[in-house]
Structure 1
Amino acid sequence: MPSLLDGATGELMPLDAYYADFEAHFWHSADLGFWKMERQQTFQEPGYDSWEAFARGDWEESLRLLEAGRPDMAEYHRKAERRGFVPRRIRVVQEPLSAYMWWELHALRIREECGGPVHVIDVDKVAEYEVDGPLPEIYTLGSRVMYEAVYDARGVLEAARKYVDPDLIVRCQAFIEELFRAGEPLSGWFDQHVAHLPPPPAQI
């Protein structure tokens, strides 16, 4: 969406450098908070035990592993609160849900229950912003840093772009917040659209 990123290309960072940079900035996001927009409907997350269990078709183990991570997730959000901010996410959803989304929405529900508000918005409600292509996968850390996730053809994270233009970051943060406010809290949406679904098919 050129009108959102305004032609900016950012600094392409390999994963190791990106992870270190993100960690250095995340805990200093109090001025505007952390806002994340997720648009793609299918990803792969090799190395994440719950995703790997889901991908091989072991749904019960996948859910068990998500629950096992609840204490760490809760502490993560308590630490953010102590640092003066609440991480928030808006998740674009398209029905029928992809198998990945069946799994991710379970993960996001636990995140929300642990103190990280998640709203969902139907893909039709963002169509007006996608004339030139899907919305980017971006997240703002306060007013000083923004990242755009870069994925390979399989949907595996391969790099990130870092943006530091304050005007761009503030504009993108406001856009993400606008979508968040237009969306629905995940908790109620999950009960209506996800809770009744059977286990998704294996992915590998």
Structure 2
Amino acid sequence: MNGQDGTFNAIWAGWYVYPDLAGDFRARLHVAWEDPNNPDCYDLFCAGFLQVSSKIAPGVRLLPVSTYNGPQYQMTILLYKDPKTKNWWLVFGNGMQPVGYWPDSLFSSLSGEASRLVWGGSIKTSPWLPSPPMGSGHFPSEGFGKAAYIYDIKIVDDHNTLRIPNSRFFTPHVNENVCYDVAGLTDGNDGVGFYYGGPGGCNL
């Protein structure tokens, strides 16, 4: 993300369970973005993200998925800015399959570089309903096999090279630590990792 107030731009990619949007409670690949003209765009519901893959699309169901205290599965996502076209690309999976891109013309402050990078989870709920679970629905203190995690975090530098950041530059942030948390921030040989999520149940 970059910018503020009327110039704020952001792109997101990951997975969601979003019944109001997808019509079910399945885990699905998800993209979103924000620019001054489109403050809340998801998947292919707004004009902007241009899909190039004939096999993978935003909104596709993800299989298999992890189970609590059972098999764990991961997905690989890369977001980067093409130095020639200036477009922001989404690449998915171990095979590094290009899914699509956001044209540079969509953005103002992201026409250069990102000034802030964020990893983790978020929730949306109606004001009259308790907040939903995040991640596996269990707190990060439960650890591997039980809590949701993000690991092997790398960044793309201004030379278009993958770099491993240092966890001391990460600032953990939780809005509702009664219902959600983040923990276990560590440096690894392949990147930074942490656990996140929680059962929800807060009245936001």
TM-score, normalized by length of structure 2? 0.28
Q: Larger % of helix: which?
A: 1
Q: Larger % of strand: which?
A: 2
TM-score, normalized by length of structure 1? 0.28
